[in-house]
Amino acid sequence: MALPLKRLSVLPNPWCALDKDGRPCGVCAVDPDLFGVRYIGARHDSDQTKILGKAPEGYTDETWFRAYGISKPQLTVYRFATEPISVAATGAAGGVIRRNLRTRTLLPADKATATATGTPWREPAEALAEEKAKAVALFDARNGEGAWDELFAQRNPVTGAETKKATEPEKASGPTKTDKKPAAPRAASKPDSD
């Protein structure tokens, strides 16, 4: 009898959710008690995330805050990992990971993880392509045929580079936090001489 896995190998599924503009925004929090701090294989793209300044049409700032818990609406864009991420298979975190694998918020990165969690196995590139096709089809069904392609082209009429940057995954070794650069050393100040 095989021993249960202590670590699971997973990939984020950015296509499990799309924002109103068709950008992938499917993220899985590392710790459900820490809202918005760390995600498995995803991080905020600070270059593209923007505070929009006022509530959307039909909302006041107050009703927006009550509905969504943020003081000003923002456009949040994520970057996603392409390399498998190793996460704990046991304890409360393991339960959250298994649930997110079953709901396709995360994808198994190897057959052992798929078998251990009872989720269907497909090669990651194939699984992501299928998830993208399903998400785009659902987006088009809700917004009109070709809506996703039109929004993709509007973001950059020549190449769609904004969306490609945000939707094309980046390499990461695990859950990421906002990266901060270390402060540069200060030069010693010299007293002014008169």
Q: Is the pLDDT of residue 185 over 50?
A: no
The answer to whether position 145 is within a domain reads yes
Domain-embedded: residue 157: yes
**Mean pLDDT of the chain, nearest integer:** 75
Establish if 38 belongs to a structural domain.
yes
Residue 21's pLDDT band (cuts 50, 70, 90) = confident
Look at the block and give the residue holding tokens 């904004």.
Answer: 162
Query: Is the confidence at residue 136, as pLDDT, over 90?
Result: yes
Of 176, 141, 152, the C-alpha closest to 23 is 152
SS3 state at 127: helix
Question: Taking the C-alpha atoms of 164, 154, 47 and 55 in order, what is their torsion angle to the nearest 10 degrees?
Answer: -130
Give residue 72's pLDDT. 63
Asked if residue 30 belongs to a domain, the reply is yes
| Degrees to nearest 5, angle at CA 170 with 135 and 177 | 100
- Residue 38 domain boundaries: 7-167
Q: What residues does 79 pair with on adjacent strands?
A: 43
Task: Decide: 148 and 136 in contact? Cβ < 8 Å.
Answer: yes
Domain annotation covers residue 36:
yes
| Residue 191 placed within a domain | no
**pLDDT for residue 160:** 39
* 67-81 pLDDT per residue, tens: 766 666 677 888 899
**187 falls within a domain:** no
Domain assignment present for 133: yes
Q: CA 33, CA 28: separation in Å to the nearest integer?
A: 12
Q: Which element (helix H / strand E) includes 136?
A: helix 124-143
3-class DSSP state of 116: helix
The span from the CA of 26 to the CA of 121, in Å, is: 20
For 167-182, the pLDDT digits (tens) are 454 544 444 444 444 4
Taking the complete model, does pTM exceed 0.85, yes or no?
no
Tally of structural domains, the chain: 1
* Chain centroid, CA 163 distance in Å: 13
pLDDT score at 194 = 43
